[in-house]
Amino acid sequence: MSFDDPEQELQHFRSRLLVAGGFMLVCFALLVARFGWLQINRFDYYHTRAEDNRIALVPISPNRGLIVDRDGEVLARNYAAYTLEIAPTHFRQADALFDQLASVVEITPRDRRRFSKILDESRNFDSVPIRIRLTDEEVARFVARRFEFEGVEVKARLFRDYPNGSLASHVIGYIGRINERDLERIDARDETANYRGTEHIGKVGLEQSYEDELHGVTGFEEVEVDAGGRAVRQLRRTPPTSGNNLVLTLDRGLQRVAENAFNGRRGALVAIEPATGGVLALVSSPTFNPNLFVDGISTQDWNALNTSPDHPLLNRALASANPPGSTFKPFMALAALTTGKRTPEQAISDPGYFDFGGHRFRDDKVGGHGVVDMYKSIAFSCNTYYYRLAADLGIEQIAGFMDGFGLGSRTGVDLEGESSGVLPSPEWKRTRFRRVEQQKWFAGETISVGIGQGYNAYTPIQLASAVATLAADGVRFRPHLVRYVEDVRTGARRVIEPEPLTRLPLAREHVDFIKRAMEGVNLEGTGRRAFKGAGYRVAGKTGTAQVFSLRGATYREKQIRERLRDHSLYVAFAPVDKPAIALAVLVENGGFGSQAAAPIARQVLDYYLLGIEPDEPALPDEEASDEFEPTPAAGAAQ
Amino acid sequence: MTGRRFDLRRALVGLLEPLDPILLVLLCLLLGYSFTLMASASPARMESQMINSAVAVVVMWVTARLPIQRILALALPVYLIGVLLLVAVAVFGETSKGAQRWLNIGVARIQPSEIMKIAVPLMLAWYFHHREGAVNARDFVAAGILLVIPVGLIVRQPDLGTALLVAAAGFFVLFFAGLSWKLIAPVAVAGIVGIGTIVGFGDRICQPEVDWVVLHGYQKNRVCTLLDPTSDPLGKGFHIIQSTIAIGSGGLAGKGWRDGTQTHLAFIPERHTDFIFAVLGEEFGFVGACLLVFMYIALITRGFVIAMAAPALSSRLLAGAVTMIFFTYAFVNMGMVSGILPVVGVPLPFISYGGTALVTLCLGLGILMSVQRARLTTQKT
């Protein structure tokens, strides 16, 4: 097979080329034969079939499933309305057609813009809406003159509606028109047939993550069409199967109270039922109105949402990872008890700082907290206690313990777009940084990690899940929003079973001690102003996260000062002896945890446990401070 | 004044100089046909298809101007980058429920498997170029490995259609390099037996509980749909039923431009992309279909002539393989639309709407022209 002679090689190549040419001709001959068979031999048959191809298969899109809260209150529903549509093959001059139509129905410039936008993105031969939500009068006017408009049809379509407006928009998400990317996804799942006739698809939130459940199965009818393509007579019908309803664990009333408590301030709140992992409320503030997206959002609305420095489209509860601040301390204390590094009684004398490796780590409180045992360290949030504890535990032990609570990894909640956050460890640093000198873990970094600062970064849902795990004595469930999926026709329910992810090996007395100390936070410590006179036993912990940098949009000068304030955090669960709700609150740039986040938690817990409706949003308590002292005489808060 | 006119003419000649006139004329005819069909099937897309064509022609011109040695020198880096990108797709690619084909590079999403349609034959031609005069059996093994790596990665995405095209492109290089008939024959026989089995026992093996081991569920569906289009009337079967009716009802001379009822009553899905041939068959009939086949035969014949006359082994192999890529595209697409091959996502070359395939094809034309130029320059010297 080796050719040493180029001439021989050339000869051989030419013979191969002839073989290939022959092969090509045979293949093309085969094709031409096939064309001849179809177009000449069987012409009569196919000609008749095309003539008879008055029988069109028209897909009937299924009703999309509803989304309701745990008590059956509707969060997303459908309503029927008439639309005016045209198949793209039926016109050549959009403008002329529109001018002509304008004499029959009202057509706004926005309708024109939307039409040309949808036409550009349109798939194959779907008809394109000209006007949506026609009034009965307009339908009557058009039908009377419809012969003037070839190919234009009135269709009854279902529209998605979110009756509560912006309430829980980050949970529910929204649907939007199917675009090229959605199409590829549909095609890859081999669902193209099932999406014929469907115009919308879940884009964000539960609408997206439960698309398969909500969509249903497309039916079709065989109809006879006239020469213009209009249906004249129905021949056969395979009905569609409606999508399944989603029944959530979410409590609409609680969600509303929680959202109102924020009053538009930037932040997030996640409330979880500790015994199941069911999410009771999930707030990301500010929020947006999902109804804007259903028919294609207008450019102004989109720009307003997209360029707002408050980033209303960002789901902070899932995607915004921040240092937990002092809310980290109960977990640190539990780690100390579990590993045997501390007993509750062991006390330190706090001079107000901790020297380590030539660096002085300061406490918030100038002069220190005096003699501090574990209870006091949590109730009054003493940093020095945890600087020393962090040094004793070491970073590996801290990271190992916190990992059990799910900190620094996605919780697996049934929504997309979750961040994993950062559970700092030497190993994380090695993989995170490229330059060798940045990869080394410094012992000093452990000290800041010990008080919830430094590289620590957790999402609100991670914090809420960790607190719920603590409340459930170490049993961690996968947080989830959907309680069960309901088949509309049969009423059959598919319950999403609570899934215990881990059972942490914690000693009963250790957990009880931490819970008692967290209750102390609200009785006499940093949370006592916010929880004064609460009619239930509540465990909590304030936290303040340092803000290092500004990212994202450009800010005006006045806003910069506001955005350099610390983030306010608060975690809590109640009632202490039999926890029914655990939550985490983040208020961006809210200052101390006790100032902004704790009052929000109070309103939410009051509503959930006692049914108290708040009269006004949770006002920030500017007097409060995480340095609050037990004896009023010593209270020199800044 | 005369001096200026002279300059203008020279500039024009200079512009056309790198282009092979026969291929250029054929390309213009094919694109003209494409626009004619597009004006009927999807007038709204005319403009963007013209932009696609302009981009593709520029790519062709740039490629044609490059000396063939330069193009061959790019083989190794382009091949390696292509393979790396495919690995990147496997690792970081965007999975859209089941298929992982795209790589998001921030500005745009790219489909690295597309690059391989040209990169693989280029690489293999380059390999044989380096072994010129000493090609032995071991080289075919090495070349086979170079071919199997990207094809395997594309099959895993999974994207069987593209994998077949890349595999075919690579195979043609091996074939032209003199791959032994002893190796080709068993594969061909196995293929014929396999197809025979599927056709013969279609009813039994298309039962839902039968698992086809090597193929994915949806690929099985496509083959089964070909055998019995009525089994999936809303999905792929619908495409085949309707495109066959469209072609058959076109008859000898067609129903006339823009008068195809199948097309205009919207019975043909994807009628501007993969199924555009159904529009052609319906509106221009047997005559129009044969005209297109003739254009392809002319294009391929010209490619063979260029390959035959090429001065070096590498450019011969490359030109031959690139020409056969055109053939594969055209045959697979027309076969699929007329219902003798299963539905795989292969566009009709130079006719279907879509920029990516058009650029790839024009890149191929550019390579042919570059090979042709190399011959002309060697003759002059």
Q: Is residue A93 part of a domain?
A: yes
Above 70 in pLDDT, residue A423?
yes
- Chosen domain end from A232, A248, A264: A248
Closest by Cβ to B245, choosing from A3, A46, A125: A46
Above 80 in pLDDT, residue A259?
yes
**Residue B99 and residue B90: Cα distance in Å, rounded?**
10
Residue A326 falls in the annotated catalytic set? yes
- Chosen domain end from A202, A226, A248: A248
pLDDT, one tens digit per residue, over B91-143 is 776 554 345 555 655 444 567 788 888 899 999 999 988 887 777 888 888 99
**A172 lies in the same domain as A256:** no
Q: Is residue B208 part of a domain?
A: no
- Cβ–Cβ < 8 Å for A534, A510: no
- How many domains does one find in chain B? 1
CA dist B240 → A33, A485, B255 (Å): 18, 37, 20
Least confident of A139-153, A595-609, B231-245, B249-263: B231-245
DSSP assigned state of A423: -
Confidence category of residue A637, pLDDT binned at 50, 70, 90: very low
Task: Give the strand pairing for A74-86 and A152-161.
Answer: antiparallel
Specify the DSSP element, H or E, that contains A89.
Answer: none
Mean pLDDT (whole number) for B45-56: 90
Residue among B369, B329, B368, B316 at smallest CA distance from B125:
B316
Q: Is residue B233 part of a domain?
A: no
**A222 lies in the same domain as A332:** no
**A80 lies in the same domain as A214:** yes
**Residue B292 and residue B350: Cα distance in Å, rounded?**
11
* Domain extent at residue B349: 32-65+243-381
Say which residue the tokens 């036993």 belong to: A537
Above 50 in pLDDT, residue A553?
no
What residues contact A342, with CB distance under 8 A and at least 6 apart? Answer: A333, A336, A374, A389, A392
What residues contact A230, with CB distance under 8 A and at least 6 apart? Answer: A153
On average, the pLDDT of chain A sits at 86
Interface of A with B in 607-626 (CB under 8 A): none
Instruction: Say what the pLDDT of residue A8 is.
Output: 79
Residue A57: closest C-alpha in chain B: B234
Specify the DSSP element, H or E, that contains A222.
Answer: strand A219-225
**A492 lies in the same domain as A440:** yes
Is the preceding peptide bond at A240 cis, omega within 30 degrees of 0?
no
Mean pLDDT (whole number) for A138-151: 82
DSSP reduced 3-state for B334: helix
- How many domains does one find in chain A? 2
- Give me B8's structure tokens: 């203008």
CA dist A169 → A78, A204, A252, A319, B294 (Å): 16, 9, 12, 15, 59
Least confident of A165-179, A456-470, B137-151, B249-263: B249-263
- Give me B39's structure tokens: 């004006």
ipTM rounded to 2 decimals: 0.90
Q: Is residue A498 part of a domain?
A: yes
Residue among A583, A519, A518 at smallest CA distance from A273:
A583
Residues in chain B: 381
- Cβ–Cβ < 8 Å for A452, A331: no
Q: Does B284 touch chain A (CB under 8 A)?
A: no
DSSP reduced 3-state for B107: coil
**A385 lies in the same domain as A526:** yes
pLDDT, one tens digit per residue, over B143-177 is 999 999 999 888 887 777 788 889 999 999 999 98
Domain with residue A523: its CATH number is 3.40.710.10
Q: Does A43 touch chain B (CB under 8 A)?
A: yes
CA A98 to chain centre: 39
**A243 lies in the same domain as A328:** no
Interface test with B, best of A35, A93, A192 (most B CBs within 10 A): A35
Interface of A with B in 112-151 (CB under 8 A): 119-120, 124-125
**A241 lies in the same domain as A258:** no
Contacts of B250 in chain A (CB under 8 A): 39
- Chosen domain end from A233, A248, A263: A248
**A541 lies in the same domain as A513:** yes
Q: Is residue B258 part of a domain?
A: yes
Instruction: Say what the pLDDT of residue A252 is.
Output: 95
Helix pair angle (B46-65, B21-41), 10° resolution: 170
Q: Is residue A39 part of a domain?
A: no
**A328 lies in the same domain as A200:** no
- Give me B369's structure tokens: 């022209």
C-beta neighbour count of A339 within 10 angstroms: 15
Residue among B105, B78, B100 at smallest CA distance from B89:
B100
Which phi and psi angles does A219 have, rounded to 5°?
-100, 180
Q: Is residue A124 part of a domain?
A: yes
Residue among A222, A261, A256, A275 at smallest CA distance from A473:
A275
Domain with residue A227: its CATH number is 3.90.1310.10
Specify the DSSP element, H or E, that contains B209.
Answer: none
**A231 lies in the same domain as A363:** no
**A412 lies in the same domain as A509:** yes
On average, the pLDDT of chain B sits at 83
Confidence category of residue B287, pLDDT binned at 50, 70, 90: very high
Q: Is residue B319 part of a domain?
A: yes
Interface test with B, best of A115, A121, A125 (most B CBs within 10 A): A125
**A126 lies in the same domain as A230:** yes
- Put simply, the answer to whether A20 touches B172 (Cβ < 8 Å) is yes
Least confident of A371-380, A434-443, B84-93, B171-180: B84-93
- Cβ–Cβ < 8 Å for A192, B235: yes
Task: Give the strand pairing for A219-225 and A567-574.
Answer: unpaired
Given the residues A284, A326, A465, A568, select the one marked as catalytic.
A326
DSSP assigned state of A242: P
* Domain extent at residue A535: 252-279+319-634
- Put simply, the answer to whether B247 touches A189 (Cβ < 8 Å) is no
Least confident of A181-195, A198-212, A282-296, B48-62: A181-195
Sign of the Cα pseudo-torsion (A28, A29, A34, A35, in order):
positive
pLDDT, one tens digit per residue, over A471-489 is 999 999 999 999 999 998 8
- Cβ–Cβ < 8 Å for B248, A46: yes
Q: Is residue A37 part of a domain?
A: no
C-beta neighbour count of B9 within 10 angstroms: 10
Q: Is residue A301 part of a domain?
A: no
∠ CA A241-A213-A67, nearest 5°, is: 100
Interface of B with A in 20-59 (CB under 8 A): 42-44
Q: Is residue A179 part of a domain?
A: yes
Q: Is residue A89 part of a domain?
A: yes
